[in-house]
């Protein structure tokens, strides 16, 4: 009986990623779980004080003014509710390279630098230049997974994508025209179904997804604080609105993926 129980618990908590043998795996596991925890803290429970800077319908965006070595690194936290899509669908679109140019408005170029596994990729991106600063690029691993909702075990699984800067000898920083930025970003989606799962067939009208997006970007080199904060204030709401409407559009005629 004890053996049986043990095997059940293994089945329920599989370390299913094929990335587990990669040298980055301990970091990917640690940062992803930390980001999930951080995203799930309400803006009231979190350390430090969050300042609301943008609001639109159910979207709320908060920031904290922070500087490291004279560079603006303001952490951002945003919450939103998106109707007609699941957390899995939102996270899959945020993660997958084939959709990126459809929603990422600051992008100039994107390459998959390394495929670690089907749920873990390394991206090399160059972003649009903001005058008068130098152009920026970013090299980061990106990992997608589902996790049981420990706060509500009856609810459907949470989905998370975590992006975090990394290094690769093939892509050294600050060698060409770009300055490398350093980022830690996560998107968490929690699906709600109404009416309860066991009744008639669930349609897109019955589902909504609560999302949390957290981001910290270190600009990596000089950029005027006033310009940076102005870009921030304009670009983050633009991104979240564009990304969520893009997801609704992509999913509307497809079967629901829970």
Q: Which residues bind ligand 16C (CB under 6 A)?
A: 104, 106, 125, 127-128, 130, 133, 136, 138, 163, 181, 183, 185, 215, 217, 219, 223, 228, 231-232, 235-236, 239
Residue 183 or 211 with smaller CB distance to ligand 16C: 183
Tell the smallest beta-carbon distance from residue 27 to ligand 16C (Å).
16
Residue 189 or 219 with smaller CB distance to ligand 16C: 219
Tell the smallest beta-carbon distance from residue 130 to ligand 16C (Å).
4
Apex CA 230: angle with CA 224 and CA 233, to 5°? 140
The 3-class secondary structure across the chain, one letter per residue, is: CHHHHHHHHHHHCCCCCCCCCCCCHHHHHHHHHHHHHHHHCCCCCCCCCCEEEEEECCEEEEECCCEECCEECCCEEEEEEEECCCHHHHHHHHHCHHHHHHHCCCEEEEEEEEEEECCEEEEEEEECCCCCCCCEEEEEEEEEEEECCCCCCCCCCEEEEEEEECCCCCCCCCCCCCEECEEEEEEEEEEEECCCCCCCCCCHHHEEEEEEEEEEEECCCCCCHHHHHHHHHHHHHHHHHHHHHHHHHHHCCCCCCC
Q: Which two tokens mark 224?
A: 């005027």
Residue 127 or 143 with smaller CB distance to ligand 16C: 127
Tell the smallest beta-carbon distance from residue 147 to ligand 16C (Å).
19
Residue 156 or 244 with smaller CB distance to ligand 16C: 244
Tell the smallest beta-carbon distance from residue 106 to ligand 16C (Å).
4
Tell the smallest beta-carbon distance from residue 85 to ligand 16C (Å).
17
Tell the smallest beta-carbon distance from residue 168 to ligand 16C (Å).
16
Contacts of 1 (CB under 8 A, 6+ apart): none
Residue 215 or 244 with smaller CB distance to ligand 16C: 215
Please give the Cα distance from 177 to 224 (Å, whole number). Answer: 18
Residue 139 or 207 with smaller CB distance to ligand 16C: 139
Tell the smallest beta-carbon distance from residue 232 to ligand 16C (Å).
5
- Is the sign of the CA dihedral 210, 38, 92, 17 positive or negative? negative
Residue 84 or 221 with smaller CB distance to ligand 16C: 221
């Amino acid at each position: 009986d004890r053996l049986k129980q043990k095997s059940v618990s293994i089945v329920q908590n599989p370390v299913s990623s094929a990335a587990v043998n990669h040298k980055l795996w301990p970091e990917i596991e640690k940062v992803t779980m930390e980001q999930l925890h951080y995203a799930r803290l309400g803006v009231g429970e979190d350390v430090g004080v969050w300042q609301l800077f943008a609001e639109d319908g159910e979207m709320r965006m908060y920031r904290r003014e922070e500087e490291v070595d004279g560079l603006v690194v303001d952490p951002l936290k945003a919450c939103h509710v998106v109707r007609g899509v699941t957390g899995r669908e939102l996270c899959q679109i945020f993660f997958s390279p084939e959709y990126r140019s459809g929603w990422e408005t600051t992008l100039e170029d994107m390459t998959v630098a390394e495929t670690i596994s089907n749920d873990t990729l390394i991206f090399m991106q160059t972003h649009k230049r903001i005058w008068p600063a130098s152009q920026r690029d970013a090299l980061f691993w990106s990992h997608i997974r589902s996790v049981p909702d420990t706060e509500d075990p009856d609810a459907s699984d949470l989905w998370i994508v975590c992006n975090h800067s990394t290094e690769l000898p093939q892509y050294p920083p600050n060698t060409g025209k770009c300055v490398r930025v350093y980022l830690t970003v996560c998107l968490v989606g929690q699906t709600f179904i109404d009416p309860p799962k066991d009744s008639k067939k669930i349609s897109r009208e019955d589902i909504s997804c609560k999302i949390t997006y957290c981001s910290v970007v270190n600009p990596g080199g000089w950029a005027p604080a006033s310009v940076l904060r102005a870009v921030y204030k304009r670009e983050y709401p633009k991104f979240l609105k564009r990304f969520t409407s893009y997801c609704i559009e992509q999913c509307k005629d497809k079967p629901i993926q829970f």
